[in-house]
Structure 1
Amino acid sequence: MTTSKAASKVWFITGASRGFGLEIVKAALAAGDKVVAAVRGETEQLAGRLENDPNLFVTRLDVTDENQAKEAAGQAVDRFGRIDVLVNNAGYGLLSAVEEATGEEVKRNFEVNVFGLLNVTRAVLPIMREQRSGHVINISSVGGLSAYAGWGIYGSTKFAVEGLTEALALELAPLGIYATVVAPGFFRTEFLDTTSLTRTANVIDDYADTVGEMRSFATQVNKKQPGDPVKLAHAFIRLAHADRPPVHLLLGTDTLARYNEKTANLQQDNEAWYDVITGTDHDDVAQ
């Protein structure tokens, strides 16, 4: 991995009022970069917390509103002249068995985590295409690489982010624009607090040994997760300033272990079912 020593960058970060978003804002400002911090709530509050840094512009944005996304992107260009790094961070968790979640709960999770990400991406990409430069960084999750009981709906939104980012990386490369999907493991943020995590009211007793255990675990592990959000933010600075950023970046030893476990299990299944896998081609192409 090589890191560029180029001029300062302009960041556009969603979900910037707390958690990963806030730490990345702080790290980017400390690195001498300029930051457009998009928040759903009051803009003055975040600006004040960051001492009204002249390199910071705070704008209000509900990512589910595409018109707001376009307006915020325009404000970013008006203020700083360009957007070099988009961090699609806004999102929330839904803890629920797949069967327990209502249709509205599922739609809302996708509305924010997937369609909201797309709204902001569509708003920013015309700017990057005109520049012929930029870097789209989408935040996924270890749950977007490998499923967990109780996180099926939320994980599926992050699986979608993984696939979207892989396609973006292919489509944007000829235009001088990079795309990276970052998959953090369990980090010590507000993610498991009631302000960030939705739990379904519908609870089915038959899932007590799986999803029920996960509900208990989520309560017990809150604020005890292994990952350090400050260190994650520093990793984002390295990523954004890298000459050749990766398409995938796993963050956390827990994420790496989960990925290795999944790929090993997949390889075992491929070997066990090799004759079935390779036996479905037409006879005229089978070797």
Structure 2
Amino acid sequence: MSTWLITGCSTGLGRALAEAVLARGDNAVVTARDVSSVQDLAAVHPETALALTLDVTERAQVEKAVRRTEERFGSIDVLVNNAGYGYRAAVEEGDDADVQRLFATNFFGAVALIKAVLPGMRARRSGAIVNISSIGARMTPAGSGYYAASKAALEGMTGSLRKELAPLGITAFSVEPGGFRTDFAGRSLTQSAEAIQDYAETAGKRRKENDTVHGTQPGDPAKAAQVIITAVQSPEPPALLLLGGDAIDTFRSVLDADRASLDAWAQLSAGTDIDEQQL
């Protein structure tokens, strides 16, 4: 029996993953800023579920959640950093305070949880850290620059973390979902108060009032949850796990475009090396 600590369990992928973990008999600490939204999970699984209030931007709450998990279940085997939200704005439109709050949740909140659970994982020489990113980090759509940046930061950190932890018997990997039928494009999506007309045909098309994606996404959160569990249990978890056919298609398109650009500029790029005769 493994113990999972999952952030952002009130809706969407986090809740689907919590339900799947509990259904298979594992322990799950299900967290949300409003604990009442996850109390039903603990009520159905009183022996294996613990519902906790957790705002990942509050260091005291992070430390308390880890401490209570270890007190209840003895250890944390899997940390899933799922808590996060979307923010849409042209780069020029973005409010500084909004952007700082975004990074406090999407990036620094995950870092705080990682730092809090790693001492126990290192002592046991085992564990898994799963950081939920987004295909948006790769496709960088207009109007999502700050969100994409927060997830790209999370992925960059995870890549280094994975290398640091591998010799210690601990794994870490990123998950890039495509579009899933969750609240991400609805209740969980925020945007800048200011809209600049010059960006109406780029970032403006992705503002909430113009976006018709919500409720039509192709991804099934319950199926995604099962794939994440499979990856965690794998003897060789991937460095990056894509979820959804749309994520795979997007990833390949970005790779192809990057390769074409690399090849087009390769000669000039390589020309910046010091000439051998100067060495």
Which range, TM-score by smaller chain? Answer: over 0.9
Q: Check the 8 A contact 2:19/2:41 in 1, yes or no.
A: no
Aligned residue in 2 for 1:109: 102
**How far is the alpha carbon of 1:242 from its aligned partner?**
1.2
- Residue 17 (structure 1) shift: 1.4
| Aligned position for 1:120 | 113
What SS does the aligned partner of 1:192 have?
coil
Matched, 1:61 2:54: yes
Residue 276 of structure 1 and its aligned partner are, at CA, apart by 1.0
The whole-number CA distance in structure 2 between the counterparts of 1:164 and 1:152 is 18
SS in 2 for 1:209: coil
Unaligned runs of 5+ in 1: 1-7
Q: Which amino acid aligns with 1:61?
A: L
| Residue in structure 2 matching 1:171, options 164, 176, 198 | 164
Give the secondary-structure state (helix, strand or coil) at the position aligned to 1:262.
helix
* TM-superposed deviation, 1:65: 1.1
AA matched with 2:272: T
Q: Could you tell me which residue of structure 2 aligns to residue 236 of structure 1?
A: 228
Partner of 2:5: 12
Q: Deviation string for 1:81-122 (max 9, x for gaps)? A: 111110000001001111101111111110110111111111
SS at match of 1:149: coil
**1:162 pairs with 138, 146, 155, which one?**
155
For residues 47-102 of structure 1, give each alpha carbon's deviation from its aligned partner in whole angstroms, at most 9, with x where no partner exists: 22553412101111110111211111111111001111100000010011111011
- With 214-223 and 157-166 compared, the bigger mean Cα shift is at 214-223
Match of 1:277 in 2: 269
Contact 1:192 / 1:218 at 8 angstroms: preserved in 2? no
Counterpart CA distance in 2 for 1:158 and 1:207 is 23
Q: Is the 8 A contact 2:205 2:211 kept in 1?
A: no
The aligned counterpart of 2:21 is 28
* 2:173 counterpart of 1:180: yes
Amino acid at match of 1:100: E
Identity %: 42
What is the DSSP-based 3-state SS (H/G/I as helix, E as strand, rest coil) of the residue aligned with 1:221? Answer: coil
Q: Deviations over 1:220-251 (max 9, x none)?
A: 11011011111111111111211111111011
Gaps of 5+ in 2: none
Q: Output the CA distance in 2 between the equivalents of 1:129 and 1:115.
A: 21
CA RMSD of aligned residues (A): 1.7
Query: Structure 1 217/275 Cα, relative in aligned 2: closer, same or farther at 3 Å?
Result: farther
Is contact 1:47-1:56 (8 Å) kept?
Answer: no
Residue number among 126, 129, 154 corresponding to 1:133 in the alignment: 126
SS of alignment partner, residue 94 of structure 1 = strand
Counterpart among 80, 91, 103 of residue 84 in structure 2 = 91
Offset from partner CA, 1:234-274 (integer Å, 9 cap, x none):
11111121111111101111111111111111111111111
Alpha-carbon distance in 2 for matches of 1:64, 1:286: 52
Q: Tell me by how many angstroms 1:199 deviates.
A: 1.4
TM-score, with normalisation over the residues of structure 2? 0.96
SS in 2 for 1:120: helix
Residue 4 of structure 1 aligns with which residue? none
Give the aligned residue type for 1:135: A
- 2:143 counterpart of 1:150: yes
Partners of 2:11 and 2:147 lie apart in 1 by 20
Letter in 2 for 1:270: L
Q: Partner residue of 1:3?
A: none
Paired with 2:211 and 2:264, the residues of 1 have a C-alpha distance of 38
- Conservation of the 8 A alpha-carbon contact between 1:65 and 1:119: no
- Alpha-carbon distance in 2 for matches of 1:286, 1:173: 40
Runs of 4+ with deviation above 4 angstroms? none
Find the residue that maps to 2:167 and give its secondary structure: helix
- Give the structure 2 partner of residue 265 of structure 1: 257
